[in-house]
Amino acid sequence: MATSTQLSLEQQVKELRVQLEEAQTQLALYAQDLRRVWVREREQSHALRAANLQLQSFAKDLKTSYEAEKRKSRELEQAHYESLLRLTRAMRYKDDESAAHIERLSHYTKVIAQHLGLNNQDADLIAAAAPMHDVGKIGVPDVILLKKGPLDSEEWKVMKNHAALGASLLKGAHSPLLEVAGQIALTHHERWDGSGYPQGLQGEEVPLSGRIVMLADQYDALRSIRPYKMACAHEHTCDIILNGDGRTLPQHFEPRLLDVFRDVRPKLRAIYDQLRD
């Protein structure tokens, strides 16, 4: 007959077995849950890896497309610039302006724009567009354009049309260069005090590009020989621009640009001396 001690031990063993079986069952459930989580995470990892590879492929395609568009844009801009240069050369056959004048004007413009605080990209753009300022003269009759003496009132009216004509020639193309060139062609005879043409714009109504080119063009025009005038020396030219001579007046120019002009006078003189006609 079993003692009470033996019964107690058997009972404990049974209880331990039950607890062990329960623990094994619970561990099996945990293992199943962990496997499901692992499978899900692996699937998500594969999906993320596939998405990442797809994004890398898209990025590569976008970069290729972007580089191709940039190349096409540069080629188109270069084609526009070359077309404008041809127009400028054609205009020079009709006018008395030299190739050196066109080159000097571009250099003057860049120096003024940079000293004014424009970034290199904007300064380069205005400098590249500046030589097209008088492209509208291609539509002015030779009898007026090449006249040795002063123009009468009717002839002067026709001559003034070259600004609007130049702007119309450059209008319509989606090109930053052509847009700025058209802006300059239309406004490089406007004056800060509103006494210019063709629209009589005043102050900041005149685009900055037009204001800069007007000052640069005035400096070079005074320094250059024309059929109707002699060339002025550098010092005399600066005195006319800064103090006036009755025909050219300081109020024709933006005061801020006159301050810049005072600072860059030596550079403008060096450009003229280096690129004389």
Question: Is residue 47 in a domain?
Answer: no
Q: Is residue 92 pLDDT above 70, yes or no? A: no
Question: Is residue 26 in a domain?
Answer: no
Region 38-50: mean pLDDT is 82
The CATH number that applies at residue 82 is 1.10.3210.10
User: Which pLDDT score is estimated for 174?
Assistant: 75
Domain count across the chain: 1
CA distance 276 to 213: 19
Question: Is residue 247 in a domain?
Answer: yes
**Percent of the chain with pLDDT strictly greater than 90:** 48
Prediction pTM value: 0.71
Question: Is residue 244 in a domain?
Answer: yes
Question: Is residue 13 in a domain?
Answer: no
Q: Is residue 26 pLDDT above 90, yes or no? A: no
pLDDT in tens, 127-145: 999 988 988 888 888 888 8
| Structure token digits, residue 200 | 């009589």
Question: Is residue 100 in a domain?
Answer: yes
Q: In angstroms, what CA-CA distances link 245 with 39, 58, 239, 257?
A: 90, 65, 8, 18
Question: Is residue 186 in a domain?
Answer: yes
pLDDT in tens, 230-255: 899 999 999 999 999 999 999 999 99
Question: Is residue 56 in a domain?
Answer: no
3-state helix, strand, coil split of the chain in percent (to 5) is: 75, 0, 25
Owning domain of residue 141: 76-192+205-274
